[in-house]
Amino acid sequence: MNRIIGFLLFCSLSQVAGAQHVLSLDSCRAMALRNNKQMSVSRVKQQMAANIRKSARTKYLPHVNALGGYMYSSRSISLLDDGMKSMLSNLGGAVTMGVESKAGQVMSSMPSLSVTAVSALLGMTPAQMQQQIHNGATELGAVVGQVGNKVLDAFDTDTHNVFAGSVMLTQPIFMGGAIIAMNKLANINEDMAANSAEAKRQATLYNIDQTYWQVVSLRHKQKLAQGYLELVQKLDKDVQKMINEGVATRSEGLSVAVKVNEAEMALIRVNDGLVLSKMLLCQQCGLPMDEQVTLADEERDDLDATALMPVVDAAQAVENRPELKILQNMVDISRQTTNILRAGNLPQVALMGGYTVTNPSLYNGFQKKFMGAWNVGVLIRIPVWNWGDVAYKVRAAKGAQAIAALERDDAREKINLQVRQSRFRVDEAAKKLEMARTSCDRANENLRTADLGFREGVISSTTVMEAQTAWLQAQSQKIDAEIDVKLSQVNLQKALGVLSE
């Protein structure tokens, strides 16, 4: 029965171990970069900046716009006033009356002998002559009236319904340097998006390294707490045996029992901290928080904490830090913004050309059909007076540029200090690690001697507990020193701007 239970327990443990993921620091970094939401936001911002840069390039090129419209008006456009319209519409009657009036004046001014002679020559009586003149004047008036009506109709625009369309090409020639400044600004924004993405990438790597080594530290402390609990439990059993044999007091047994309880509580705290730290690591790596993971450095006794860091000059760190690059981008953005504002006081020249159609047509009378014409021109805009509006904006932009430069210089000084402090902390952590290793060796020897003396009966349980406590502190300090070396190296890499995958 015991063999069957043992076999089933072994199978279940094997399945659990097989379900766990073994993660190295590099794999955690890769997953964190791939699943980090802020990194995804940075990639989208880089794409946005690239599209804005491409949009700025189009400002150099000609732009073509097509326009169309319809308008209804309650009154038509009139090229003649009301008097001219009345004169043209009554032109025939006026001609008839004028001719008859002039003929009557001529005949009345002629002597009767002349009238008789003309009548005899034409073979008509004076009355017949007057009738012929009247008929001729009437016919002439009708013809002139028709001409007047045609002229009046020709000047009728009939613009109640107007259709118009145009295709216009605009080519900027000189915009006061605004287009050049806009393109430089777009390039800076794209560079700034890349620097921001690099800053978030390094921050992500820094956070994952911190969490990774925290999990490793808690796992080593968990093993240390289990080892310490086994030591005090063994001591408790030995003291209980000595109490039963009468060579130890009950007070000594209670003191050891208290140490056992303290060791159990310490183990519980470490276990809880380890679970929470692994949940945080899984969240940063994009894994389910209840995922069972095992880190590659959990079971390593030697964390290779003495690895040397490459020596990097602080000046090179200034060039590598994305934060400083972003501040430099801010200075450049302020400079180009000033150039764009300054362009408002400079002349602007653009070439324009296109084709325009209208209905009614304007090129052959007012015909009811679409007709158009090509047109080319140059547009010049020269600012004359704006009450100093542009000058005030330029001064404000220069002030923003000065502020950005001061913030960049201040950040450079702080980064130099940060690099020096990080380098000092690496050296300090290495020294603490050497001291912790020496303390561990002494604590191990002290514990061995105390155990041997306790078994020989020459050392009390109190001395053994003190040796165990000293051993626990020394081992804990050694773990902290090893992790501190790793974290100080990460801090130095981040300060130097060389924290990579």
CB distance 358 to 375 below 8 Å: no
Q: Are strands 161-174 and 63-72 parallel, antiparallel or unpaired?
A: antiparallel
Q: Pinpoint the alpha helices (H) of 374-460.
A: 389-456
- What are the backbone angles phi and psi of residue 404, rounded to the nearest 5°? -60, -40
Residue 104: predicted pLDDT? 64
* C-alpha to C-alpha distance for 65 and 71, rounded to whole angstroms: 20
Element of type H or E holding 72 = strand 63-72
Spatial distance between the Cα atoms of 231 and 258, rounded to a whole number of angstroms: 13
- Quickly list H helices, 110-249: 112-122, 126-154, 178-245
3-state secondary structure of 381: strand
pTM: 0.76
Q: Are strands 348-359 and 161-174 parallel, antiparallel or unpaired?
A: antiparallel
Cα–Cα distance, 178 to 336 (Å, whole number)? 9
Q: How many CB atoms sit inside 10 A of residue 49's CB?
A: 20
- Specify the DSSP class assigned to residue 75: S
> pLDDT value at position 13?
38
pLDDT of the chain along its 501 residues, tens only?
A: 334 334 333 344 344 444 567 888 899 999 999 988 888 899 999 999 999 999 999 999 999 999 999 988 887 777 677 777 677 677 666 667 776 676 666 666 655 555 566 566 656 666 666 666 667 767 767 777 677 677 766 677 777 888 999 999 999 999 989 999 999 999 999 999 999 999 999 999 999 999 999 999 999 999 999 998 998 888 888 888 888 877 677 887 888 888 889 999 999 999 999 999 999 999 999 899 888 889 988 887 777 665 555 565 677 777 889 999 999 999 999 999 999 999 988 999 999 999 999 888 877 777 788 888 899 999 999 999 889 888 999 999 999 999 999 999 999 999 989 888 988 999 899 899 999 999 999 999 998 888 888 887 777 878 888 888 899 899 999 999 999 999 998 998 888 888 875
pLDDT in the model for residue 77: 74
